[in-house]
């Protein structure tokens, strides 16, 4: 088994992986794509990059490494 360590997962790489996953599952199961990142702007960029790809949803957490107020978290969701 190979172990891969990613320092930074570029948006284009994430989009390509989502496309590959979509082709692999062929609609047999729902496909949710992880869009977690360090800032709200980058999470939105990740979501926007998936436009046109027929996925079932995204998996997101509130941005880590950033201190967010309760209002910012609610706005983010």
Yes or no: say if 46 and 11 are a contact pair by the CB < 8 Å rule.
yes
Is the four-CA dihedral 53, 58, 64, 68 of positive or negative sign? positive
pLDDT digits (tens, 9 = 90+) for 21-45: 999 999 999 999 999 888 788 888 9
Residue 56 CB: number of other CB atoms within 10 A? 12
Report the pLDDT value the prediction gives residue 50, as an integer from 0 to 100. Answer: 94
pTM: predicted TM-score of the whole model, two decimal places: 0.71
Instruction: Please name which of 23, 39, 26 lies closest in space to residue 11, comparing C-alpha atoms.
Output: 39
Yes or no: say if 76 and 68 are a contact pair by the CB < 8 Å rule.
yes
pLDDT digits (tens, 9 = 90+) for 56-75: 999 988 776 667 788 877 77
């Amino acid at each position: 088994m190979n172990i891969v360590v990613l320092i930074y997962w570029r948006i284009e790489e994430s989009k390509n992986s989502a496309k590959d996953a979509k082709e692999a599952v062929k609609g047999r199961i729902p496909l949710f794509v992880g869009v977690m990142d360090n800032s709200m702007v980058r999470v939105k960029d990740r979501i926007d990059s998936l436009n046109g790809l027929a996925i079932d949803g995204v998996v997101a957490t509130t941005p880590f490494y950033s201190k967010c107020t309760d209002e910012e978290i609610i706005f983010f969701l």
